[in-house]
Structure 1
Amino acid sequence: MQTSSVFEPTKRSAFLDVYRGAAVLLMMIFHFCWDLRNFGFMEFSIYDPFWVYFRSLILTLFLSAIGWSTYLALGRASSQSFWKRDIKLFISAAAISLATYLAVPDQWIYFGILHFIFIASLITRPIAQWPILSALFGAIIIIIYHTTNWLHFPNAFSTITSYIALPQRTLDIVFPFPWIGVVLVGPLLGYLNWHKCPIPNNPIIHILAFMGRYALPIYLTHQVILFALVAAFKMVLTLIS
């Protein structure tokens, strides 16, 4: 079986693209199930352990890839390239906020995954050039979060929403802890050259790599398409029943 670590001619890491693409695929499955639940085709609570861990897996893949790609970009990208990426993330996060505010003003997204990625990218960039130190800080944050209550801040959300006119419920929110720790661990994956790992060169891998390469536009559009498809299917069933 042929293997590859880099896809020509982009010189991108195939392994990292597939890694990110797997996160995109899982995210689409998660949102598709949410849409099915919303229209009554499935019944489950998003607070059930399975769905909590499923979401955590998706976040772990996405956020570790952020730190990982930041480390790799530091060696070849200019500061202008970083600012272009930052501006793109900022505009995308703002678009998500605006779209959800217009669609569901009582649950609009004001600090979801894109907002967090934008902030985390800025925080991680200065320390990513020292991947071992970065990973050490990240591991300490994760360990403290999971072994103590020091970084939980259970009343922070209600306190913030009591002072700022934000909805008590939101369609998506990513709290800083422990997730900034996951981002900080990411540069270590680049330092260990995981992006050079060979992978099978077949159509499935190429599809995942494509999804990873265009993760942002897929994120911005996939839920609109999935929601519309499920809604249309529900409408057809209602008309013929």
Structure 2
Amino acid sequence: MLTSAVTLPYVPAAKKRSLFLDAYRGCAVALMIVFHFCWDLRNFDFLQFSIHDPFWVYFRSLILTLFLTAVGWSGYLTRQSQQPNTFWRRDLKLFIAAAAISLATYLAAPTQWIYFGILHFILLASLLTRPLLRWPILSALLGALILYTYHFTDWLLFPNAFDFIQQHFFALPTRTLDIVFPFPWIGVVLIGPLLGYLGWHTFSIGENIAVKILAFMGQYALPIYLLHQVILFSAVASFKMVLEWFY
């Protein structure tokens, strides 16, 4: 009996995402939406609070910590997957998104436009910390050293960190809608690769509806970031307008 072997072309398996990492990042997205929604309510006088109160300062710090550890963590996993092109595609998306945020806020609020917000920082931090992704323990130790130095000395305190740019290149607003200073947050990014090295992305957290929603938000964090405030601000502004019509 004659048989013939048929060789099928190799089709690489789709890269499997980490449900835990996506949900982890999704938690940051969900908290960010809550934070910005409260800010919008405050802006239209539905709530009264100071964003400098400790609760809101720590709330923002928690959001940044989740986002930025995820940056280093996902960077480590990308390097382990040996897909270097993924880095540059992500960098290009971040660059375009950051530029769009700067342009949009400059047109909408020229005295408070965002010249170095979270997206700008993530792009810069990703580039600066990438060489250390192959040494996650060293990266985490350096990150911890930066955090310790920032919180327990005044060596990394730069309250006017962008003065040089303002004095020598172009004028920057004295107030901005969002700003993320390099220190101490670069240290948080540097700790992220250790989470990948320790295998946190392999944790099993089930697949209930809440986890799936958070994972979806984490997977599409960038478009949600770009769109959510437009939707929230417009909704609160419209509600305020309707109330003024009737009362």
Give the structure-2-normalised TM-score: 0.92
Q: Counterpart in 2 of 1:188?
A: 194
Matches within 5 A, 1:35-114: 35-114=40-119
Maintained 8 Å contact 1:97/1:108: yes
User: Which of residues 193, 198, 204 is equivalent to 2:204?
Assistant: 198
Cα distance in 2 for partners of 1:130, 1:192 equals 12
What letter corresponds to residue 223 of structure 1 in structure 2? Q
Cα distance in 2 for partners of 1:189, 1:33 equals 31
Unaligned runs of 5+ in 2: 1-12
Deviation at 1:82, TM superposition (A): 1.2
What is the SS of the residue equivalent to 1:200? coil
Q: Counterpart in 1 of 2:158?
A: 153
Q: Which runs of 4+ in 1 moved over 6 A?
A: none
Maintained 8 Å contact 1:161/1:168: no
Deviation at 1:159, TM superposition (A): 5.2
Q: Counterpart in 2 of 1:21?
A: 26
Cα distance in 2 for partners of 1:201, 1:138 equals 33
Aligned length: 234
**Shift in CA distance, 155/98, structure 1 to aligned 2, threshold 3 Å:** closer
Cα distance in 2 for partners of 1:143, 1:135 equals 12
Deviation at 1:79, TM superposition (A): 2.4
Deviation at 1:161, TM superposition (A): 3.3
| Stretch moving more, 58-67 or 8-17 | 8-17
Q: Counterpart in 2 of 1:208?
A: 214
Q: Counterpart in 1 of 2:241?
A: 235
* CA displacement, residues 185-233 of structure 1 (integer Å, 9 cap, x when unaligned): 0000000000011102100110000000000000000000000000010
Bigger Cα Rg: 2
Residue identity (%): 70
**Shift in CA distance, 158/47, structure 1 to aligned 2, threshold 3 Å:** farther
Unaligned runs of 5+ in 1: 1-7
Give the structure-1-normalised TM-score: 0.94
User: Which of residues 138, 153, 172 is equivalent to 1:166?
Assistant: 172
What is the SS of the residue equivalent to 1:11? coil
